Structure 1
Amino acid sequence: MKITYFEVTDTLYIEFCKAERLETFDYDDNTLIDVDVVGHVCGITVEHAKQGVDLQRLSFEQVSWHAA
């Protein structure tokens, strides 16, 4: 996963995988969903990111889970 913030356009892009994008859907006025050829979400674009995302507190945590 890769998260990129474009300050000039106030756009946040979350890339889940390096797949070829087949289509982009509008989720709402500020959110676009990229879907690959098999229908998996491969990216999310958040426009006007400062309005909906606290960029100063953006963090990543990996949690391991093991079935009992």
Structure 2
Amino acid sequence: MKFSYYDETDSLYIELSDREGADAKEVASGVVLDLDADGHLVGIGIDRASHLTDLARFKSKRPQTSPLPAPAQ
């Protein structure tokens, strides 16, 4: 999952899949679902994002992983 915010258009895009979008459906004013050729959701576009959420509090969390062990010498 990838989040992209575009300040110049005040839009937020949430990419859910690497698949290419083939169709778009507006489900609410300024909220567009991108669908692949099979009708599966691949992304969500949100216009006027700063009016809908406090972007300063918007955080992305990644799972923590253990560091790789050093290679044997």
Q: Same fold (TM over 0.5)?
A: yes
Q: Using the alignment, how far apart are the partners of 1:53 and 1:28 within structure 2?
A: 16
* Structure having the higher Rg: 2
Partner residue in 2 for 1:44: 44
With the length of structure 1 as denominator, give the TM-score of the two structures.
Answer: 0.83
Structure 2 CA distance, aligned partners of 1:39 and 1:62? 28
- Give, in whole Å, the separation in 1 of the partners of 2:8 and 2:62: 29
- Percentage identity across aligned positions? 32
Aligned residues: 63
Query: Whole-Å Cα distance in 2 between the matches of residues 25 and 56 of structure 1?
Result: 28
RMSD (Å) for aligned C-alpha atoms? 1.3
**Structure whose residues are more often strand by fraction:** 1
2:16 equivalent in structure 1 = 16
Instruction: Please give the TM-score of this superposition, normalised by the length of structure 2.
Output: 0.78
Match of 1:5 in 2: 5
